[in-house]
Chains A and B, each alone.
Chain A
């Protein structure tokens, strides 16, 4: 039984890491109704910026601040040069623009900070927590626990921000109807700059966590792929949905990896592995059939 809980908790914690990436998507989707294809690339850019600044001799805290500044600038530039031209255009146009943006970042980031894979040391050791190991004989990573705490804090803050602040409300209003938002005097430019700034910040946190775990390398852009099933489960528009979706995906894929192969082996013989790799996508696919707006997503309101 201990082993089951160990797998479950490990899965939940890694799910939080997925949620961290998914959050960035939710931010942009909520405020502009656009799936931001460039989110994975932004995670990569943010992580590279931190590592790059540290290589130039900055201490970690300064590197993080500099990276945040870079992401904010990037957000403002995106608004000014890409989004502003696309006000009131169909969402697909904005979506295409984000694809272009993704390629642009994937080229720009290595150009600025170099493309070789590097390690990122946040000063958190990736080791089992001794106390848990002694008492329950379970291996729970300290690093994962810290990452989960950071993610939870981020989610709580963002959820409150969206629900109860003036700017948060304006963000949701813009997502619903650009033009109506303009007509009541909400300046789209500011709103979008804020959103991309915050999405950049989320990407920075995700990039640091993933970078510290797997190394800062181009493969970080693919973390976005793991966020997809999370978003489908949790709903594209919900901040808490991102975290719940992340938990479900994380836990289920780890459990599936452990407990499904023996069953298959009994049935068909031979050996099965790598279930973890495709299980979340199958789950998402099934979910799309049953509840396409996700667990917490906003239903599309159609009046007849």
Chain B
């Protein structure tokens, strides 16, 4: 048995049948289960409102601040239940979320942003400096902008800043929410390359929520597809990318390359008014 399959069989982060309700009435996740093996990149795919972000927040426990509750199921990290921990404790254990839409601290400089990431670790100045250099090594762009206020940097730089900030906490697992949002395709590739780099060199596991199925499947090892708060499909990334349904519904491809919406059979189109 290869090392890869041995790793895959020992789940690192394990989400079991999680149900999430917002505001006591809105059922968003209807029992989602997934595994993130150590040192892997797992993609969580799906359309708007499928529950990708909610799944990540259920793991990182940021749900409470949004009036959401995990009503069923459990989240285990390294064999321990973590669904009742505060985000602070979870970060200390090595799970950190990079939120959708970047959320840098706009009035802090890039460097200060990075430094806040190390809040949970009590370390010396020298160690802090060393860690900063490590982040700058992966994101050379950030070094050139280190003393600009984050609010005035570009979207790509902010995304890098957000990931770099998370790195400063020395995480083992990063929950990365929609890193491609609002970025030029070239920058998206750059960000994903760095994610792959971090994964292979620092052994950081990633759970990656993405709408951009094509790119995500290219970089991930494994994928889950969410629809209406349920996992409808899962498999090796290459397998998913080759799947006919995934091709048609998520990649906009079918047998004969790209397909126009006009040619889709009528019964597959939504009924429209006045037609």
With a cutoff of 8 Å between Cβ atoms, the chain B residues found around residue A170 in the complex are: 116, 119
B-side interface residues, number (CB < 8 Å): 36
| B113: A residues at CB distance < 8 A | 173
The number of A-B residue pairs with CB atoms under 8 Å apart is: 86
Flag if B119 contacts A166 (CB, 8 Å).
yes
What is the CA–CA distance of A179 and B165 in the complex, to the nearest angstrom?
Answer: 14
B61 closest partner in A (C-beta): A182
The verdict on A185 contacting chain B, using a C-beta distance below 8 Å, is yes
Residues of B within 8 A of A (CB): 60, 62, 64-66, 86-88, 90-92, 96-99, 103-108, 112-113, 115-120, 149, 151-152, 162, 165-166, 169
**Do B62 and A169 have beta carbons less than 8 Å apart?**
no
Q: How far is the CB of B65 from chain A (nearest CB, A)?
A: 4
Supposing A178-B65, A183-B62 touch, asked if A172 and B105 sit within 8 A by C-beta, the answer is: yes
User: Are A180 and B65 also in contact (CB < 8 A) when A185-B88, A185-B91, A185-B96 are?
Assistant: no
Contact of A180 among B86, B105, B118, B169 (CB under 8 A): B105
**Chain B residues near A172 (CB-CB < 8 A):** 105, 107-108, 112
Q: Per-position contact with B for A211-254: 1 when CB-CB < 8 Å, else 0?
A: 00000000000000000000000000100000000000000000
Judge if A127 is at the interface, Cβ distance under 8 Å: no
Residue positions of A touching B, CB distance < 8 A: 87-88, 166, 169-170, 172-173, 175-187, 237, 298, 301, 303
The main secondary structure of chain A at its interface with chain B is helix
- Contact between chains at A187 and B86 (CB < 8 Å): yes
Bound state CA distance, A181 and B104, in angstroms?
9
Alpha-carbon distance between A177 and B161 when the two chains are bound, in angstroms: 15
**In the complex, chain B residues whose CB is within 8 Å of the CB of A88:** 65-66
Instruction: Give the distance to chain A from B158, nearest Cβ to Cβ, in Å.
Output: 9
- Could you show 18 A-B contacts with beta carbons less than 8 Å apart? A169-B108, A169-B115, A169-B119, A170-B116, A172-B105, A173-B108, A176-B106, A176-B107, A181-B116, A183-B97, A183-B98, A184-B165, A184-B169, A185-B90, A185-B91, A185-B96, A186-B116, A301-B149
Measured in the bound complex, the distance between the Cα atoms of B86 and A87 in whole Å is 14
**Cα distance, A178 to B99, chains bound together (Å):** 12
Known A184-B165, A186-B116; further 9 A-B contacts with Cβ < 8 A: A169-B108, A173-B113, A176-B105, A179-B62, A183-B87, A183-B97, A183-B98, A185-B169, A187-B86
Query: When the two chains form their complex, are residues B96 and A184 in contact, meaning their CB atoms are under 8 A apart?
Result: yes
Q: Per a CB cutoff under 8 Å, which of A173, A176, A183 touches B99?
A: A183
Q: How far, in whole Å, are A292 and B149 apart by their CA atoms in the complex? A: 20
Contact of A185 among B65, B92, B106 (CB under 8 A): B92
* Residues from chain A with Cβ under 8 Å of B104 in the complex: 177, 180
Contacts of A185 in B (CB 8 A): 87-88, 90-92, 96, 119-120, 169
- A179 and B99 in contact, given A88-B66, A184-B117, A185-B169 (Cβ under 8 angstroms): yes
Min C-beta distance of B164 to chain A, whole Å: 11
Question: Are A87 and B65 in touch, CB under 8 angstroms?
Answer: yes
Contacting pair B116 A173 (CB below 8 A): yes
Query: In the bound complex, do residue B119 and residue A179 qualify as a contact, i.e. CB atoms below 8 Å apart?
Result: no
Interface centre among A172, A182, A187, A237 (most CB of B within 10 A): A182
